[in-house]
C-alpha cells in the first residue's frame, strides 16, 4: 500500500465490511446505471448472453449460479 494511505489492516477491515453488507455490489450497480444513462441506454439491460465456454458445468454449479443470480436480482430490486 502506498505510504499516504491508512494501514492495510484498516483498509482490509473496511473492504470486508463493505463486501459483507453489499456496498460493493450496490456501488457497482449504481456506476453501471450511471454509465448506461450517460451513453443513452436504458438503466437496465433488456437482454444478456452467456458464453457456454465461460459457464462451468461441474456438479453443483447450477446451485451456485442460481444463488448468484438471486443475489444480483435482490441487489437490483433495491433501486
pTM of the model: 0.51
Q: Which residue has the cell 465490511?
A: 17
Q: Which residue has the cell 450517460?
A: 38
Report d(CA 64, CA 24) in Å as an integer.
19
Q: 24-41 pLDDT, tens per residue?
A: 999 999 999 999 999 999
Q: What is the mean pLDDT of residues 61-75?
A: 64
Q: What is the mean pLDDT of the chain?
A: 81
Q: 2-15 pLDDT, tens per residue?
A: 789 899 999 999 99
pLDDT grade for 51, boundaries at 50, 70 and 90: confident
CB neighbour burial string for 22-53, b if at least 16 within 10 angstroms, e if fewer: eeebeeebeeebeeeeeeeeeeeeeeeeeeee
Amino acid at each position: 500500500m502506498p505510504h499516504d494511505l491508512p494501514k492495510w489492516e484498516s483498509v482490509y477491515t473496511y473492504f470486508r465490511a463493505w463486501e459483507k453488507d453489499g456496498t460493493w455490489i450496490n456501488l457497482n450497480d449504481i456506476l453501471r446505471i450511471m454509465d448506461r444513462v450517460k451513453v443513452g441506454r436504458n438503466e437496465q439491460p433488456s437482454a444478456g448472453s452467456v458464453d457456454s465456454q465461460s459457464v462451468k458445468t461441474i456438479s453443483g454449479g447450477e446451485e451456485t449460479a442460481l444463488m448468484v443470480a438471486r443475489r444480483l436480482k435482490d441487489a437490483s430490486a433495491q433501486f
